[in-house]
């Protein structure tokens, strides 16, 4: 009986609005990234995820396979060009050209900027900003050949606001806002939509500022819902930016 239910779910996913499309989600082994991968799989897409922890990637892939039969994972440091090129090549060989890219990989590091090291700066800016440049650059050529695609960059409300102790993190997210907006202008006439999603505080393992009240935070599924709205938008339009906030202020 359970096997029958699972096959039914798989058939339903395969007939979804994203049927036939391949999606790559960076940082897809947990938290927001995994929730996004699951949601896109429910809409029918074939899913590829990457991250640095092989065990967590394998566990996430098994969870996604309950929805979609075509799931691929590979360890990759998205701050390294060579690893990204190998990842994109492997995804395309396994699943086909990438039509949806979700740049989700991110890291948080907080405290006065003048107290942070060069290594900490490089880690945050590399993961949150440089990786989006590198992964997008690797994927865009196939989207151009296909005549379209979706790139969704997961930013933060910290990309629009400043706060004490947020210097390095805010720098990375403000930079991501600018990069995303310019990419959208560069690519829209080629049929490629670039959107940015800015969530507030989300209840994940992400290294944020202090403790979080679960009643006053977003859930990863809230961000995944926003991504779903972007990728199912009518072909002739796109959502350039979505801000997602907890209903209750902390």
Q: At what angle do helices 220-231 and 31-42 cross, to 10 degrees?
A: 40
Structural domain includes residue 250: no
DSSP state of 51: E
Q: Which of 36-50, 95-109, 127-141, 194-208 has the lowest mean pLDDT?
A: 194-208
Q: At what angle do helices 31-42 and 54-64 cross, to 10 degrees?
A: 30
Per-residue pLDDT tens for 75-91?
A: 999 999 999 999 999 99
Which 3 state secondary structure label does DSSP give 200? coil
Structural domain includes residue 121: yes
- Contact between 26 and 103 under an 8 Å Cβ cutoff? The reply is yes
Positions of E strands within the chain: 22-26, 46-51, 71-75, 100-103, 149-154, 192-199, 241-244
pLDDT score, position 95: 98
pTM for this prediction: 0.91
CATH number of residue 141's parent domain: 3.40.50.720
Structural domain includes residue 226: yes
Catalytic residue among 150, 169, 204, 223: 169
Structural domain includes residue 176: yes
Structural domain includes residue 16: no
Per-residue pLDDT tens for 64-76?
A: 999 999 999 999 9
pLDDT score, position 212: 65
Among this protein's residues, is 24 annotated catalytic? no
Structural domain includes residue 119: yes
Structural domain includes residue 3: no
9 pLDDT tier (thresholds 50, 70, 90): low
DSSP state of 188: G
Per-residue pLDDT tens for 125-147?
A: 999 999 999 999 999 999 999 99
DSSP string for residues in 109-170: --S-GGGS-HHHHHHHHIIIIIHHHHHHHHHHHHHHHHT-EEEEEE--GGGT---TT-HHHH
Q: Which long-range contacts (CB under 8 A, 24 or more apart) does 178-185 make?
A: 179/129, 179/132, 179/133, 179/153, 180/132, 180/153, 180/155, 180/241, 181/240, 183/136, 183/151, 184/238, 184/240
Structural domain includes residue 196: yes
Q: Which of 8-12, 44-48, 134-138, 173-177 has the lowest mean pLDDT?
A: 8-12
pLDDT at residue 178 greater than cutoff 70: yes
- State which residues form the domain around 29: 21-244
d(C-alpha 193, C-alpha 150), whole Å: 5
d(C-alpha 157, C-alpha 41), whole Å: 26
* Structural domain total, the chain: 1
Cβ burial, residue 59 (10 Å; 0-12/13-18/19+) = middle
């Amino acid at each position: 009986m359970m096997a029958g239910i699972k096959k039914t779910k798989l058939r339903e996913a395969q007939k979804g609005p994203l049927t036939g499309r391949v999606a790559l989600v960076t940082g897809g082994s947990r938290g927001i990234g995994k929730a996004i991968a699951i949601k896109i799989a429910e809409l029918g897409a074939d899913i590829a995820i990457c991250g640095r922890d092989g065990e967590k990637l394998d566990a996430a892939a098994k969870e996604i396979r309950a929805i979609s039969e075509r799931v691929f994972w590979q360890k990759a440091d998205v701050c390294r060009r060579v690893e990204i090129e190998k990842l994109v090549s492997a995804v395309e060989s396994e699943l086909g050209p990438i039509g949806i890219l979700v740049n989700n990989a991110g890291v948080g590091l907080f405290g006065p900027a003048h107290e942070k090291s060069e290594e900490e700066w490089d880690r945050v800016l590399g993961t949150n900003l440089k990786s989006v440049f590198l992964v997008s650059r690797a994927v865009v050529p196939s989207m151009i050949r296909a005549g379209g695609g979706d790139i969704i960059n997961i930013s933060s409300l910290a990309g629009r606001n400043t706060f004490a102790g947020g210097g390095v993190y805010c720098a990375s997210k403000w930079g991501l806002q600018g990069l995303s907006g310019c990419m959208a202008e560069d690519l829209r006439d080629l049929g490629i939509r670039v959107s940015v999603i800015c969530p507030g505080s989300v209840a994940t393992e992400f290294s944020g500022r202090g403790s979080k009240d679960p009643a006053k935070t977003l859930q990863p599924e809230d961000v995944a819902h926003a991504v779903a709205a972007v990728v199912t938008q009518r072909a002739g339009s796109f959502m350039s930016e979505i801000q997602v906030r907890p209903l209750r202020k902390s």
